[in-house]
Chain A
Amino acid sequence: MKRLPRGVGVLAIVSIAVLYLPLVAVMALSFNATRHGQSWGGFTWSWYAKLFNNEAVLNAATNSAIVAVTSTSLATVIGTLLAIGLRRLPLGRWGRTSADVIINLPTVTPDILLAAALVVAYGIFRSVVAHFSPESKFFDPGLTTLIIGHVTFQVSFVAVVVGARLKAIGNEQFEAARDLFASTWGVWRRIILPQLAPGIVGGALLAFTLSLDDFVVSFFISGPSSTTLPVLIYASVKRGVTPEIHALSTLIVALTMIAILSIAILNRPRMTKE
């Protein structure tokens, strides 16, 4: 292999350090016995213990889990169907390009715009629903609005990931399965879905981490009883960063990393031998 100039290696190490030092610092402080300041006061699990006795934190964690699991399940089904539907629709070249743009757009739209739009939309829905049933609280800020809000941005990510996988599978797989007497349903069940599965799981894991980590959208549309972990952390940090927050952050980072690693393992290239 050609040797790279020394500078490239140094630059890479510096870049990775800049990316990960803050996270490593937070992780280290979460085990630091000193309550205030950055000086090392010895190793302790006590912040984690306190965390698990904190009613507000446990509540927020439960909310986050409910929202993440529910919205991810919904978004995975909808996003996968969307990707498959678009593949099967007889769109022309122009139609396909527009469909791709429409699907991709939400993935690059700033969260703050989506959040503001959701607030407006829920306002409209509330007044419409109130017209028919004045007692309904369906669109009042709470877990339901959070779940719907998360699904709106998750669907795009799932559809993009699943769609890319579907494209990679290619037309010949469909034709070969047809040629070997498989019905339309048989082609999907026996050939396409098994090959699509890593894409679906990958899309779901991505959607899950997006929901778990989402602050902007959740901050705008959660109610007082539906605080999620990122929103709780934000509120706590305003009163001063405590070691409990470091412990909580460390747990969230760990969970996210597990999800990201799973995606990487699922999408690893298959071993080939020539």
Chain B
Amino acid sequence: MNAVQPLDLAVVGIAKSFGAVQVLHDITVTIPDGQFVTLLGPSGCGKTTLLRIIAGFETPDHGTVTLGGQNLLPLPAHKRPVNTVFQSYALFPHLRVKDNVAFGLRSRRLPEAEVHRKVSDILEVVRIGQLADRYPQELSGGQRQRVALARALVNEPEVLLLDEPMSALDARLRHEVQVELKRIQRQYNTTFVLVTHDQDEAIAVSDRILIMNQGRIEQDGTAEEVYERPVSRFVAEFMGSANIIPAKRLADHRVATAFGELAVATIPAWTSGTVAIRPEDIEVRHVAGPNHLPGIISDRLFRGDHWDLIVEITAGSGTSTIAAVSAPTLRVSTEPDQVNRVGEAVFLELPNDDLLVLRD
């Protein structure tokens, strides 16, 4: 393929139904050449279906998929310049590691000398050169994962698709593979599209995260953006733990909550909706101030790298237009060296620019 123009992957207006269930609604997204993108969402959100449409295993009902301007949809899976790392790896059990990896090159009838060179090179890149003559059944889970990655990468695809490739690995190994994956992606400068339901994994490896929910892209942004600035309640809850607070708009920058009136940095588009704040963005103070809520620490848990505090808010003053919930609480995390007692009276500062105004 001629690489004069950048090989951006463009998904335009993709829709797909299985029977009566619509799994993808009008998905449009452009992925620039060389970007590491993660499709993140709960199971059933349509992320795997979107990946399979790009790979050529499913046909969309509407829409197009183009790569560098070329329409991919008329091409069958085996003619697309795209390779997949499968969730269960799908290694060929009757072939040795080196022949598994050589499979795609031999399909394309490369000279055998070149096949050998490329296979041994890629096995070194994924650091399993010593396993070339083994059969897949003789490998550990982590080693199989590396074979699956090598088998796809050796073909130098324009886009590498990864379908939950780490879900079968234990936590320690997963961290190791994430670092490795990021290194390889930088080295090859190839577009990677990773599907996962693990937000830590997405944050660790991606240049960009597409959060999917019920067949739609809920938010599109960098890891920092989707974590720090979730646009909806779904994203706020899916990406780590946020305090979700129902609110009513009083003025452009003021909302009323069960805890009392609060100032917000952005203007809500609603009259009645929700605001959210991350536990680590809340500051524990001992004197009153603007956006300070009085409360009593009702519980604390030591998590090693931080404290989790549960704080019962004692205010909910008369200015509130929303009826106070019985003992409303906020979750707060503090530094491990900042020790607060249970029963201690404190003020919680909710900095107005960390108080996120969520879309409905």
Using a CB–CB cutoff of 8 Å, the interface residues on chain A facing chain B are: 172-173, 175-183, 186, 190-191, 194-195, 270-274
Contacts and interface: CB of A to CB of B under 8 A. Distances in A.
A180 B155 contact: yes
B132 interface: no
Residue with the highest number of chain A CB atoms closer than 10 Å, among B79, B93, B141: B93
Given A181-B107, A181-B108, A176 B90 contact: yes
9 contacts: A176-B90, A176-B92, A178-B78, A180-B152, A180-B155, A182-B103, A183-B107, A195-B94, A270-B135
A117 B51 CA distance: 53
A161 B151 CA distance: 31
Nearest to A181: B107
B88 A172 contact: yes
B83 A270 contact: no
Given A176-B90, A178-B56, A273-B138, 9 more contacts: A175-B84, A175-B86, A179-B83, A179-B152, A180-B103, A182-B103, A186-B107, A270-B137, A272-B138
Nearest to A195: B94
Given A173-B90, A195-B94, A180 B57 contact: no
Contact of B55 (A179, A270, A272): A179
B128 interface: no
B77 interface: yes
A173 B92 contact: yes
A179 B78 contact: yes
Residue with the highest number of chain B CB atoms closer than 10 Å, among A181, A190, A194, A271: A181
Contacts of A181: 78-79, 104, 107-108, 155
Contacts of A186: 107
Contacts of B77: 175, 178-179
A183 B78 contact: yes
B161 to A, nearest CB: 9
B140 interface: yes
A274 B83 contact: no
Contacts of A175: 57, 77, 84, 86, 90
A176 B86 contact: yes
A178 to B, nearest CB: 4
Contacts of A191: 92
Interface string B64-91: 0000000000001111001110101011
B114 to A, nearest CB: 15
Q: Secondary structure of the A side of the interface?
A: helix
Interface of B: 55-57, 76-79, 82-84, 86, 88, 90-94, 103-104, 107-108, 135, 137-141, 151-152, 155
B75 to A, nearest CB: 11
B155 A271 contact: no
B55 A274 contact: no
Contacts of B152: 179-180
Contact of B140 (A190, A271, A274): A274
A173 B151 CA distance: 13
A168 to B, nearest CB: 11
B94 A177 contact: no
Contacts of B83: 179-180
A176 to B, nearest CB: 4
A189 to B, nearest CB: 11
A271 B93 CA distance: 11
Contacts of A177: 92, 103
A180 B90 CA distance: 12
A194 B93 CA distance: 10
A183 B76 CA distance: 10
B137 A179 contact: no
B291 to A, nearest CB: 53
A175 B77 CA distance: 8
A183 B93 CA distance: 19
A259 to B, nearest CB: 24
Contacts of A183: 78, 107
Residue with the highest number of chain A CB atoms closer than 10 Å, among B84, B91, B155: B84
A190 B103 contact: yes
Contacts of A180: 78, 83, 103-104, 107, 151-152, 155
A179 B148 CA distance: 12
Contact of B78 (A182, A271, A272): A182
Contacts of B91: 176
